[in-house]
Structure 1
């Protein structure tokens, strides 16, 4: 059975939701029959990478809130992440466009290493403060995982169409925020829900998939 997850690299709740989903899946007896695919989504396609701007400054400007309010927002997600064992370092996060990272994830999907790549990119952004729009940085991260054809991909427009396709599909489905989880093309869950919610969705959709394995359109 297939589970598709629309998410963005710079989305703090996407990493939190990933952990909660993984906890639910880990406790599912038939997890070896579940295929997880990450789909591309950009919270802000127009954002320009700026290594001189902090995330707090970016949030203040983009959401029209005070710096103090933006700091409260980052403090809250950092606290929520810590509950899931994630040590967010938001003070060091680099304001970056994620389109190039999504192309890397599309490449990783073709090589069966997408889950490892997704985790590495999220960790690099939220915990290590790396610029996930920088080609040398992405090549370094990809080499750690064992991806091939990385440089050729990033120095071309390869997998651009695949990223745009995922984004277009998210609009067709009606996704307005991420993370967004789609179970067997039938059930959708929005947000970083508790593991119990994911566990129930996995169990229900799997039972129906076993009974009628042909995926149902949303």
Structure 2
């Protein structure tokens, strides 16, 4: 059963939501039958990459907050992240447009490494303070998860996977996502936000039960013997 997760690398609750969902998945008895697919979403498509700008100053500009209030909000989010074992260093975060980071994930998905790519991007942005719009950074992250860096370089220097990113963003509108993280289970149920693991677990149980009824597993034949068929042939 497929679970689709719309997220943006600059969204602090997306990384937190990833951890909480993973905790729920660990407790789910049929976890090996769950296919997770990461989907692209941009909170601010017009954002300019500005490595020298403080994330607090950026938030103050776009949200009308004071830098001090922005810092307080980031400290609060960092404390929530710490509760699920994540280290946020928001003072090091680089203001960066996420479009190329999403193209990086889309490419990684074709190699079966979409989840690895998301994890590396979140860590790079929130913990390590790396510029996730920088191609050299993305190449390093790709190498860390075993991607072919020469092939990835060709992708990044072109417009490849741009349509896939835009299609995901369009799909988000169709399924009702107005913010991220946004989890869609079997295209029937949605969970919005970084919910508690028990909420995710309940959603997995309900959606999987219905999916299993609609997709029964074929019986495995353990032995064949003499029998009669519907056309009257017996042997």
TM normalised by structure 2 equals 0.90
- Please give the alpha-carbon distance, in whole angstroms, between the structure 1 residues aligned to 2:72 and 2:85: 20
Q: Which moved more, 1:63-72 or 1:84-93?
A: 63-72
Whole-angstrom CA distance in 1 between matches of 2:215 and 2:42: 31
| RMSD of aligned residue pairs (Cα, Å) | 0.9
Structure 1 stretch 205-214 or stretch 149-158: which is displaced more?
205-214
CA distance in 2, matches of 1:105, 1:27: 27
Q: Give the equivalent residue in structure 1 for 2:67.
A: 67
Q: Distance in 2 between matches of 1:53 and 1:89?
A: 15
Identify the match of residue 156 of structure 2 among 143, 154, 157.
Answer: 154
Paired residue for 1:197, among 194, 199, 204?
199
2-side partners of 1:51 and 1:213: how far apart? 49
Within 5 Å, give how 1:9-88 maps onto structure 2. Answer: 9-88=9-88
Distance in 2 (alpha carbons) for counterparts of 1:124 and 1:197: 28
Correspondence 1:92-131 to 2 at 5 A: 92-131=92-131
User: Who is 2:5 aligned against?
Assistant: 5
Long gaps (5+) in structure 1: none
Q: Looking at CA atoms only, which structure, 1 or 2, has the larger radius of gyration?
A: 2
Deviation at 1:213, TM superposition (A): 3.1
Query: By how many angstroms is 1:15 displaced?
Result: 0.3
- Among candidates 178, 181, 187, match of residue 179 of structure 1: 181
- 1:152-199: CA deviations, max 9, x gaps? 100000000000000011112221110000000000010000000000
Residue aligned with 2:205, SS:
helix
Residue aligning to 2:223: none
Give the ranges of 4+ consecutive aligned residues of structure 1 lying more than 4 Å apart after TM superposition. Answer: none
Unaligned 5+ residue runs, structure 2?
217-235
Higher relative contact order (CA 8 A, sep 6+): 1
In the other structure, the counterpart of 2:166 is: 164
Indicate the SS of the match to 2:191.
Answer: strand
